């Protein structure tokens, strides 16, 4: 079959590869100049490795992407065990006013670290540790979809544990929807997390470059700078209106089948002539948070040793800090230190409408609250905004989420909303791409 794959992220690229292996004639359409979506990288003149637009790492149990790399003959994935921690207000602040560092960063790498946490009495920590162990070893159960994460965690760990360990994390990830998130989400977070984390020699862009070369070698047509504007169903297939952005020219091309890996809201906008109205209305009911990522390039490290720090302080809007060069060696970035500052925000959040300079001005004072020695004037900043980055995993989501097979014959979906109950990530994108290739092939 002649197949159009919409989107050049890991879901689209893996779908294209496995479809080509099954003998299909595949074309990938990607609106950006490079493949990879959020995993695509930037590289400065004095850097050996590239950096992603937003923080990326792998877990040791990310078997799908590791097997994909093996299938492609790529050997650049490696694992290490960086330090992770949580940041809390200091119970006994040492200073007041300008220059104060009134936060405390507490390691959370091991069960021993958790039991040493000074913010909870030992009996609450033991109770919480027991529930975490149960979540880690338990299989997925429908029980987790019958209550919210807040209800589950308060019931099993107690209200005090909820307030100290979880409340701020949920508020900063899901905003006004925090109280609606199903407990299946927290099960998946605990189930998935591993001590060792993986990265790619050269950055994820090195893997993407390898994939692109393999796809071209396998006969896949890779069309970057091509935006699909409309998909129309015809008796014998689909007519796609495609804009070649580099030439500002629009054309039409026909396919037997379509695989969309695009964000659901973008798909519903371009598929009005190919998917039923009621189906599109259902998909349009899904709510999202959007991503804000500020990358900071510094002369000196911001954090002493931690890579991943959850900011559990209500007076600081930052959700998480990821000092990449406490994970990957600074020598690959010209000896500079690289840090991501991350947030998820609602569609009405003012940060989505801020310019780059306004975002920098917003975040610098909040970074100085954490490290008063942070030298913003000698740092470089890069900002990125990602639309529809986090679907809201509530009861409505369960009713409306997309599936691989749509009501229109030979129209398939494999996008990151379908990673539920797990968090979005490159591993699940690859899993979706491979699965949709099998489903399409079986139905062709």
The domain spans of the chain are 2-40+61-75+204-286+400-443, 110-192, 196-200+288-391
Q: Does the pLDDT value for residue 42 go beyond 90? A: no
Burial of 354: CB neighbours in 10 Å, binned 0-12, 13-18, 19+: middle
Q: Helix or strand or coil: residue 313?
A: coil
Confidence of residue 333 (pLDDT cuts 50, 70, 90): very high
Q: Does the pLDDT value for residue 96 go beyond 70? A: no
β partners of residue 228: 242
- pLDDT at site 108: 87
Render pLDDT for 221-246 as a digit per residue (tens, 0 to 9).
Answer: 999 999 999 999 999 999 999 999 99
- Whole-model pTM: value is 0.94
- CATH number assigned to the domain with residue range 110-192, chosen from the 4 options 2.60.40, 1.10.3110, 1.20.120, 1.20.58: 1.10.3110
Q: Does the pLDDT value for residue 18 go beyond 90? A: yes
CB distance 117 to 137 below 8 Å: no
Q: Determine the average pLDDT of the residues in 182-190.
A: 96
Neighbours of 180 (CB within 10 A): 18
Q: Determine the average pLDDT of the residues in 14-29.
A: 98
* Burial letters 220-249, b for 16+ CB under 10 A, else e: bebbbebbbebbbbeeebbbbbbbeeeeee
Question: Helix 204-217 and helix 63-72: axis angle, to 10°?
Answer: 50
How far from the centroid of its chain's Cα atoms is residue 78's Cα? 20
Confidence of residue 41 (pLDDT cuts 50, 70, 90): confident
Confidence of residue 37 (pLDDT cuts 50, 70, 90): confident
Q: Determine the average pLDDT of the residues in 63-68.
A: 98
CATH number of this structure's domain 2-40+61-75+204-286+400-443? 3.50.50.60
Q: Which fold has domain 196-200+288-391?
A: Polyamine Oxidase; Chain A, domain 2 (3.90.660)
* Burial letters 65-88, b for 16+ CB under 10 A, else e: bbebbeebebeebeeeebbbbbbb
Q: Determine the average pLDDT of the residues in 249-275.
A: 97
Q: Determine the average pLDDT of the residues in 203-232.
A: 98
């Amino acid at each position: 079959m002649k197949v159009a794959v919409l989107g050049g992220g890991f879901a689209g690229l893996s779908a294209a590869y496995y479809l080509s292996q099954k003998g299909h004639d595949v074309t990938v359409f990607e609106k950006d100049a490079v493949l990879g979506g959020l995993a695509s990288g930037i590289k400065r003149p004095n850097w050996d490795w590239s950096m992603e637009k937003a923080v990326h790492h792998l877990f040791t149990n990310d078997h799908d992407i590791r097997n994909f790399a093996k299938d492609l003959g790529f050997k650049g994935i490696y694992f290490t065990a960086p330090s992770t921690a949580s940041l809390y207000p200091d119970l006994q602040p040492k200073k007041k006013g300008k220059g104060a560092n009134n936060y405390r960063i507490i390691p959370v790498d091991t069960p021993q670290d958790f039991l040493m946490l000074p913010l909870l009495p030992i009996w609450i920590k033991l109770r919480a540790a027991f529930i975490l162990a149960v979540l880690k070893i338990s299989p997925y159960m429908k029980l987790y979809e019958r209550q919210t994460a807040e209800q589950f965690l308060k019931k099993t760990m107690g209200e005090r544990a909820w307030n100290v360990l979880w409340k701020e994390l949920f508020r900063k990830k899901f905003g006004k929807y925090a109280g609606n998130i199903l407990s299946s989400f927290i099960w998946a977070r605990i189930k998935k997390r591993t001590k060792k984390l993986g990265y790619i020699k050269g950055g994820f862009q090195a893997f993407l470059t390898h994939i692109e070369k393999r796809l071209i070698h396998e006969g896949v047509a890779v069309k970057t700078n091509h935006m699909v504007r409309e998909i129309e169903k015809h008796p014998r297939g689909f007519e796609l209106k495609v804009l070649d952005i580099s030439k500002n020219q629009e054309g039409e091309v026909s396919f037997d089948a379509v695989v969309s890996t695009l964000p659901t809201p973008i798909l519903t906008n371009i598929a009005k002539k190919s998917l039923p109205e009621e189906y599109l209305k259902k998909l349009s009911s899904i709510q999202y948070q959007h991503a804000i990522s500020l990358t900071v390039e510094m002369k000196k490290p911001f954090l002493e040793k931690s890579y991943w720090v959850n900011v559990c302080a209500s007076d600081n809007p930052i959700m998480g800090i990821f000092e990449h060069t406490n994970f990957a060696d600074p020598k690959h970035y010209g000896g500079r230190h690289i840090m991501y500052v991350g947030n998820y925000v609602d569609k009405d959040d003012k940060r989505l409408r801020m310019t780059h300079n306004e975002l920098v001005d917003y975040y610098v004072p909040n970074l100085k609250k954490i490290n008063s020695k942070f030298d913003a004037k000698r740092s470089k900043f890069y900002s990125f905004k990602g639309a529809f980055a986090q679907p809201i995993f509530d009861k409505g989501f369960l009713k409306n989420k997309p599936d691989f097979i749509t009501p229109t014959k030979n129209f398939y979906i494999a996008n990151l909303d379908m990673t539920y109950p797990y968090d979005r990530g490159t591993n699940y994108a690859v899993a979706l791409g491979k699965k949709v290739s099998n489903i399409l092939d079986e139905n062709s």
